[in-house]
Structure 1
Amino acid sequence: MSNSLSEHDPQHFDLAVVGSGILGLAHAYAAVKRGLKVAVFERTGTPLGASVRNFGMGLVTGQPPGIMLDLARESRAIWLHLAARAHFSAREAGTLLFARSEAEHDVLQEFMMVRARQYDYRASLLEGDKLNTLYNGRFRHHRSVLHGTEDLQLYSREAMPALVAYLHSQGVHFRFNTLVHGAGDGRLSTTAGEFRAERVVVCSGHDYLTLFADRLQPMNLKQCRLQMLRLKSEETLPLTHAVLTGLSCTHYGAFSDLPTARAVHAEIEANTPLLNKHGIHLLVSPTPYQELIVGDSHHYGTDAPPFNSEEIDELLLGLVEHTLATRVKVIERWQGVYGSKGPGPFSALAIDAQTSVVLMHTGIGMSVGLGLGERVVKALLEGAELPSPTAVPVAVTALA
């Protein structure tokens, strides 16, 4: 329950969270459901970072065995719990990962025969008649398809504001348009004044300079910038699954370390080297409004350049039209940005006895963030060690 010192003091909280992206909201939810007095500080007027620029995929099937797979499954359960209470869409149709070539098909076969059995991935491989009857034969030009049944679709633009509203209704105090420019030893210095908290968790996304730059600089962290599209198909396409292709087998840790994945990488390099150059693999997430969120590319650096490449957009459009067998038109273009290239897929650092920093170093915050927030808050309250990704065999680098 709430600390007696903070109960009646509007400037004093049991937990203060810096950042209202999905990782920040995950910590706020984990704390408020335990009866703590929680505040969230956000420099903008609404969440505008990676958590609303993404595909809204709660991707379980792509996560490598180990803590990331566990976190994705834990997050899935929390997403479904919250969707029913905060009234946002969380569709459970799953994902379709299409193998377009024999090399891509070999990866899916190896995944099903080895990894799916060993780690209980809930997926099935469809080919032949099962593939040819899928969506009335629309995808018969592919070799096979992996149907991952644990994966969720979340429309981020609606899910994030709905989650903020729900947490507010549960007692979380939100301080939007408030920059936290100093933190430590239970104190926060902000543009709205000074605050205190028994514990502070900083979830600052790809901002490595405002807080604790001295601790983050040696980690040589990068930003990843992506080109994203919102599309409308020129014909009626009642797509209910998220869609990927065998290109993702070289990106996601559930597949990328399988021996057969090397042949897919070589095939891409031989036939379409620009895809490797720009870090492109296709992700398609249908919105509740018969539109398609499509991407993505990967550009890594200390900053995210503001200039989009038309070549990248043309490559993405070509991939989506071939994969879905339909013409599309662009409704909207934007950039996704997330923190990347860390010592693992995430970091949970103790700065002092009352302050922690939790950062994602991949684009899968929507897939694993809720589970990670739950584990961090539990560890803080029990005085246990913070979660560590050191046992993860392969890091993943895609925006989900």
Structure 2
Amino acid sequence: MRVLIVGGGVLGTMHAWQALSRGHDVIQLEREPEARGASVRNFGLVWVSGRSEGAELATALRARELWERLGAEVPALGFRPAGSLTVLRTDAELAVAEAFAASAAAAQRGTTLLDPEQARLRNPALRGDFLAALWCDKDGAVEPRTAQPALRQHLQATGRYTWLPGREVRELTADGVRDDHGQRHEADLVLLCIGAQLGGLAREVAGELPLRRVRLQMMQTEPLGADFPTAVADADSLRYYPAYAGPALDALRANQPQAAVAAEHAMQLLVVQRRDGGLTIGDTHGYEEPFPFDTEEAPYEYLREVTESLLGQALPPIRRRWAGVYAQSRTGEIVHRARLTDRAWVIAGPGGRGMTCSPAIAETTALEAGL
């Protein structure tokens, strides 16, 4: 078959990989010269630990397997089985972690509860004070700014993959698409991986999608000057991820309110080290549109303070700050996937799990579309 993919983000690129691996020819169109959305504006985390039971966890675990396989085939993806530490600093946070660690859910995720000394064996950079940490050995990381170009280069080596950036699709035709250069591209199957672009062509061919857009803020430091081998989260992630729900979390919410700035911006701390030694730190969640066009400093200052308290030292200077927008399903689906015509599908809205789950989402699309 000839498969045409609209969208150059991580979801579209993983669909290209799945189609090629099944023996098909692929054309991938992207409206920008490079993917510029959430696919490159994230942590690059393959985050299994907090996923909800059932389909979401199964998808994340399958995606983790696929990321590792891809990382072996394409070392430039920068995949590493880093694991993660969720650091606990109060008795109420520790109670949530203890309840989770004693459950069957923890074993599914390779999660155990460590004391501070054990946690520092995993990540010696954590020199600040804390009571304990949840260790998840299923979590991993890739390099988000370079992973997709590296994967595309790998795909191009097959001789059956064509990358066409700077092409905005204007029309879904009976036998493919027409782009804004007036060129028609014929295909047996069209996969619209539209990212956060919910208007325009997407609305025209798919209607009002059951998705919402979410805005985030993040930053990256200069090199730390030390190894930071695991990803790190603070206990606000217990409030954010569904795996930790239960009476202990209810008690935490009732008796230990979030810091005001963290609550205002729906924040959790996530930290991961980049290949150059810098730390990517975030993030915030904004749900009300229109989104502001500028970034706010208060969340950055809060993230800096919490990170420095865990490191027991000052952070290096901040190299860059940025905001991004991604689409998220409103229905609780892992992703919105719908057949539009006999030969066209739309796949969008994985939310903050897009980088984590995209290989498995693409695999499921391939099965459902008969690739």
User: Which one of 263, 275, 288 corresponds to residue 301 of structure 1?
Assistant: 288
User: More displaced, 210-219 or 190-199?
Assistant: 210-219
CA distance in 2 between counterparts of 1:141 and 1:249 reads: 19
Secondary structure of the residue aligned to 2:298 is helix
Residues 80 and 332 of structure 1, relative CA distance in 2, 3 Å threshold: same
How far apart are residue 311 of structure 1 and its match?
1.2
Q: Does 1:50 align with 2:41?
A: no
Opposite residue 241 of structure 1, the aligned amino acid is T
**Equivalent residues, number:** 366
User: Which one of 172, 185, 194 corresponds to residue 195 of structure 1?
Assistant: 185
How far apart are residue 267 of structure 1 and its match?
4.5
CA distance in 2 between counterparts of 1:20 and 1:316 reads: 31
Opposite residue 85 of structure 1, the aligned amino acid is E
CA distance in 2 between counterparts of 1:195 and 1:83 reads: 31
Partner of 2:165: 176
Partner of 1:263: 251
Deviations 1:160-188 (A, max 9, x none): 21011111212211111000111144320
Partner of 2:298: 311
RMSD over aligned CA atoms reads: 2.0
Partner of 1:8: none
TM-score w.r.t. structure 1 length? 0.86
Partner of 1:241: 230
Deviations 1:28-56 (A, max 9, x none): 11111111011111001111111111000
CA distance in 2 between counterparts of 1:97 and 1:226 reads: 20
Secondary structure of the residue aligned to 2:52 is coil
Opposite residue 211 of structure 1, the aligned amino acid is L
Secondary structure of the residue aligned to 1:337 is strand
Opposite residue 148 of structure 1, the aligned amino acid is C
User: More displaced, 67-76 or 239-248?
Assistant: 67-76
Residues 305 and 128 of structure 1, relative CA distance in 2, 3 Å threshold: closer
Percent of aligned positions with the same letter in both sequences? Answer: 26
TM-score w.r.t. structure 2 length? 0.93
Opposite residue 98 of structure 2, the aligned amino acid is Q
Partner of 2:131: 143
> Does the Cα contact within 8 Å between 1:178 and 1:191 map onto a contact in 2?
yes
Partner of 1:10: none
CA distance in 2 between counterparts of 1:185 and 1:156 reads: 35
Secondary structure of the residue aligned to 2:345 is strand
Q: How does 1:1-400 map to 2 (within 5 A)?
A: 3=1, 14-88=2-76, 89-116=78-105, 120-127=108-115, 129-131=117-119, 135-136=123-124, 138-139=126-127, 141-170=129-158, 171-192=160-181, 193-214=183-204, 218-219=208-209, 221-232=211-222, 236-255=225-244, 257-269=245-257, 272-328=259-315, 329-344=317-332, 345-381=334-370
Secondary structure of the residue aligned to 2:59 is helix
CA distance in 1 between counterparts of 2:6 and 2:135 reads: 37
> Does the Cα contact within 8 Å between 1:126 and 1:147 map onto a contact in 2?
yes
Residues 55 and 135 of structure 1, relative CA distance in 2, 3 Å threshold: closer
Residues 325 and 176 of structure 1, relative CA distance in 2, 3 Å threshold: same
> Does the Cα contact within 8 Å between 2:326 and 2:352 map onto a contact in 1?
yes
Secondary structure of the residue aligned to 1:369 is helix
Secondary structure of the residue aligned to 1:15 is strand
User: More displaced, 133-142 or 277-286?
Assistant: 133-142
Opposite residue 24 of structure 1, the aligned amino acid is G
Opposite residue 287 of structure 2, the aligned amino acid is Y
How far apart are residue 212 of structure 1 and its match?
3.2
Secondary structure of the residue aligned to 1:230 is strand
Opposite residue 206 of structure 1, the aligned amino acid is A
> Does the Cα contact within 8 Å between 2:172 and 2:205 map onto a contact in 1?
no
CA distance in 2 between counterparts of 1:334 and 1:369 reads: 23
How far apart are residue 327 of structure 1 and its match?
0.7
Residues 341 and 139 of structure 1, relative CA distance in 2, 3 Å threshold: farther
Opposite residue 314 of structure 1, the aligned amino acid is E
Opposite residue 39 of structure 2, the aligned amino acid is S
Secondary structure of the residue aligned to 1:280 is coil
How far apart are residue 319 of structure 1 and its match?
1.6
